[in-house]
Amino acid sequence: MGINIGIMEMEAPSAPCKELRSDIVKVHMKDVTGFEDAAVYDEFVEYDKAKEAISDWDAFIKRNRLNEDADAVYLEKIKNSADMETLRPLASRVCTGWVIMDKVDDGIRQKAIDGADDMVTGWDQLDFDEMNGMCGNCPLSWDKGRGCIGAFGPDNSLLPEIAARHGCPIVASVPQSVKEGRRFTSEDATQLLKEVEILRAALPEEGKMMVRRYSGPVDRMEAVARISEREGCRFFFF
């Protein structure tokens, strides 16, 4: 397993993804009581029943482009209106547990959020290229344009041990901070920048291999610390 470095992007004023990440599109609840009108339901017909109702099964599969490996025929997949008329009376309706937040009254939105065990935001609905495009142009994209998360190194990295020998408590505490879920402040970022300079000078003393192995993580910590200082957002190792 490896250890990564991240920033609390929602605390950063310059984060372009904040609005999308704050837009809760839907939530999943174990019990949708009180939110039935906003809940999502699956309507489906079991294959055995569907085959009894459809005279030419192969033609039905082709014209609706269905996958026979599925466990049932879901009405949302039906493209042919005549087939829909045939199957709808046979369909079962089961709640998925998802609740569409646009359909929830403002007065109970927070109750839905508090009762959720999962949620989808506007950010989650972006495709891979859209996410990459936004991250690549983000002022918080500290890892060479790849985003606001980057690698610290493997969980058996010797860098914390080296940091401890050279009086760098933040870097020395990285494994423990991962276990504790600690969040470092922008004031800690100022201290981390001092530790970065100490480590840059110390690594050559530790040997050429240590320079090759750990110069990258040191550079990334410097980039994170500068973002944290500038934006006033916290950073963390995980």
Which tokens is 195 given? 């530790």
Which of the four pLDDT bands, split at 50, 70 and 90, describes residue 215?
very high
Between CA 98 and CA 103, with CA 101 as vertex, the angle to 5 degrees is 100
Mean pLDDT value of segment 118-146: 88
φ, ψ at 101 (rounded to 5°): -70, -25
Residue 136, pLDDT score: 83
Mean pLDDT for all residues in the chain = 93
φ, ψ at 233 (rounded to 5°): -100, 155
3-state helix, strand, coil in the chain (%, to 5): 50, 20, 30
* DSSP H helices in 70-136: 81-87, 109-114, 128-136
* Tens digit of each residue's pLDDT (9 = 90 or more) over 7-29: 999 999 999 999 999 999 999 99
Q: Is the pLDDT reported for residue 209 higher than 80?
A: yes
Give the Cα separation of 79 and 76 in Å (integer): 8
Q: Is the pLDDT reported for residue 149 higher than 80?
A: yes
- CA nearest 173: which of 187, 190, 186, 192? 192
Say what the pTM is: 0.72
Residue 67, pLDDT score: 78
Give the Cα separation of 65 and 79 in Å (integer): 8
- Where are the extended beta strands (E) located within 101-157? 118-121, 149-154
* Tens digit of each residue's pLDDT (9 = 90 or more) over 65-101: 987 777 899 999 999 999 999 999 999 999 999 999 9
Residue type, 60: F
25 CB contacts (<8 Å, ≥6 apart)? 100, 101, 102, 119, 120, 121, 122, 124, 125
